[in-house]
Structure 1
Amino acid sequence: MANSSDIVLEVDGLSVDIRTAGGTLHAVRDISFSVKRGETLCLVGESGCGKSMTSLAIMDLLPKAATKTARRLAFAGEDLSRAGKGRINALRGNSMSMIFQEPMTALNPAYTIGNQLVEAYCLHKKASEVEARERAVFLLGKVGIANAAERLGQYPHQLSGGLRQRVMIAMALMCGPELLIADEPTTALDVTIQAQILRLLADLQRELGIAMVLITHDLGIVARIADRVAVMYAGQIVEEGPTASLFNAPRHPYTQGLIACIPVPGRTEPGGRLGVIPGVVPSLVGEVRGCSFRDRCTKAQQACLDAPPVRETADGHRWRCILENAA
């Protein structure tokens, strides 16, 4: 077991509700997880399962129509649910950083790369602009951008997608954060650049000892980079565990379905049929009862109409299901 002082992020009972014209949307439903220093946790699941909403709740960047509740939401032992706006602003961008999905919309097109890198460092570290620019040049070089000093004077539209994503990573690292949340950082990039960015993130995370939450729907990425995996479905974490354990022995039917959809080199025949998960994700507007996966599950039973128990193995592999082993 990890010492409690090793835990950088602790989430216990986090829920996010959004007011809509049709009722309350329960976007995130009572999820719990923790991330240790130097560890990478991957939040995985199909679009709309609540991954990004979870990250926005942690960073206190939820839209106005959304409200969050939690039994405990702690960063480095400090309860964020009790912290005021001023304290959250002091932590966000400084000790807690986030890489957003689309760098072209996350970067301000009206300001140079240098202005956007320097601003937060001067604000949080009370540093001079000269110090901040030196830090920016260092980090741009660290993330593999050549002629870093010259790039500071360029605008986002003058950079390729891969370079903009590297700038976003450098920006997130400017203040030396303890926690880094990366929300699908390679979605808009081609496959070659994706691999480079993932290697870069993994190398920086190990070198700097950062706790990282990587949000993705790509299980191939998860297998390469994660220490632990949390699988989300319909706003809940339905399975969580060490990466090897979860991939080698998935316990929840949804996780099994996701893994069955992945082609396996040497085993999946060219042109052969891949696995599919029938049905659609249920609506999360209004009351949600029982197992949310039951209408798509081939192993569903009458008992699935009630909330499923959370089961756990000795290595910390947990899943929500009435079955001890759905295999």
Structure 2
Amino acid sequence: MSEIALELRRLTVDIPTDAGMLHAVRGVSLTARRGETLCVVGESGCGKSLTTLAVMGLLPEGAKRGAERMELAGENLLKASPSRLRALRGDRMAMIFQDPMTCLNPSLTIGDQMTETFLHHGKGRRRAALDRAVALLERVGIAGAAGRIGQYPHQLSGGLRQRVVIAMALMCEPDVLLADEPTTALDATVQLGILQLLAALQREMHMALVLVTHDLGIVARIADRVAVMYAGEVVEEGAVRAVFDTPRHPYTRGLMQCIPQPGITAPGTRLGTIPGLVPYLVGEVAGCAFRGRCPHAMPACALPVPVREDAAHAWRCLL
């Protein structure tokens, strides 16, 4: 079995609001191994991005993080000081943020932004940093890389900027790469190229890739394992083929019914929907958060729901 690169056990993120405490992430447990792609999927607002930000120690001001365990390749992140987290970020763990249009500094050249992390972590001198930046830009498919490092972000297209952000995250060869919906702002053709690139780099560098998305097509294309989140918690998790072939949780089945399947869904067929609204997560949240939208809900769903599992995956449901 591959080495565990990232392990979370019962991670919580609470955010104080005027209405009370918002329980945005509720007991999330995930494991990502080196050489593996784990996709975290769910609708907007389910806590996917906050989970990755909690790992990086980049939560918004006032947010409170808690967990039974949070380890990066065996190192306890819960006990890491702010200076230690700064030493880990960009070195052993790195993140690709959602929008390539806004996550690059418009006043700095591509070369300055790419070499900053390399120099900060003492990986070498500026010449070595520039050489590595050029090599990585070439590796992510940017032609004329030596000339690009002197350019500013506004001189690059959205697709090229996304490739720069990926290359920047890989400057120090991290153990874990967290990618938060890295293709959302790109057109479909560019999306495919970026996904293929991420999959190739993950295999080549034997790192753990944790990819946050709401697109099940992306999950089917590149994931080894998938975790389905709803209302701040993981409701189903396992090998991607097992989850797609035999989804156990009603929410997972609802998501699957919302997308057309090539060769199966006939043109003009009405796609499925999930009725109702996401529950309010301020204050106490008891029982299954999906029960208000679930066609199989029963009185017992208002009580704590245990995690059930088989050989291929686990799910949080009484059924």
Decide whether the 8 Å contact of 1:40 with 1:213 is kept in 2: yes
1:241 equivalent to 2:238? Answer yes
Runs of 4+ deviating beyond 6 Å:
none
Alignment partners' CA distance in 2, 1:266 and 1:97: 38
Deviations 1:117-145 (A, max 9, x none): 01110111342111100000000000000
2:144 counterpart (135, 147, 167): 147
Structure 2 SS opposite 1:105: coil
Alignment partners' CA distance in 2, 1:216 and 1:121: 28
Aligned residues, how many? 319
1:29 equivalent to 2:26? Answer yes
Q: Percent identity?
A: 63
Structure 1 SS opposite 2:101: helix
Give the corresponding residue for 1:49. 46
My pick for the range that moved more, 126-135 or 242-251, is: 126-135
The letter of the residue matching 2:119 is: C
Deviations 1:55-101 (A, max 9, x none): 00000000112010000100010110011111111010011000000
Deviations 1:16-37 (A, max 9, x none): 0001111111000011011111
1:318 equivalent to 2:318? Answer no
Structure 2 SS opposite 1:29: strand
Give the corresponding residue for 2:60. 63
Give the corresponding residue for 2:105. 108
1:309 equivalent to 2:306? Answer yes
Q: Which runs of 5+ in 1 are unaligned?
A: none
Structure 1 SS opposite 2:7: strand
Alignment partners' CA distance in 2, 1:20 and 1:65: 9
Decide whether the 8 Å contact of 2:137 with 2:164 is kept in 1: yes
1:80 counterpart (59, 77, 94): 77
Deviations 1:181-201 (A, max 9, x none): 000000000000000000000
Decide whether the 8 Å contact of 1:23 with 1:285 is kept in 2: yes
The letter of the residue matching 2:79 is: R
The letter of the residue matching 1:263 is: P
Give the corresponding residue for 2:297. 300
Alignment partners' CA distance in 1, 2:4 and 2:62: 31
The letter of the residue matching 1:92 is: R
Alignment partners' CA distance in 1, 2:165 and 2:122: 19
1:95 equivalent to 2:111? Answer no
The letter of the residue matching 1:35 is: A
Decide whether the 8 Å contact of 1:290 with 1:307 is kept in 2: yes
Alignment partners' CA distance in 2, 1:22 and 1:151: 49
TM (normalized to structure 2)?
0.99
1:163 equivalent to 2:160? Answer yes
My pick for the range that moved more, 240-249 or 124-133, is: 124-133
Q: Which runs of 5+ in 2 are unaligned?
A: none
1:133 equivalent to 2:130? Answer yes
Deviations 1:161-190 (A, max 9, x none): 000000000000001111000000000000
Decide whether the 8 Å contact of 2:123 with 2:172 is kept in 1: no
Decide whether the 8 Å contact of 2:97 with 2:181 is kept in 1: yes
Alignment partners' CA distance in 1, 2:50 and 2:115: 28
The Cα RMSD (Å) is: 0.8
1:204 counterpart (184, 201, 207): 201
Decide whether the 8 Å contact of 1:125 with 1:175 is kept in 2: no
My pick for the range that moved more, 291-300 or 269-278, is: 269-278
Alignment partners' CA distance in 2, 1:64 and 1:172: 24
The letter of the residue matching 2:116 is: E
Alignment partners' CA distance in 2, 1:83 and 1:265: 47
Matches within 5 A, 1:222-237: 222-237=219-234
Alignment partners' CA distance in 1, 2:238 and 2:248: 10
TM (normalized to structure 1)?
0.96
Alignment partners' CA distance in 2, 1:37 and 1:213: 10
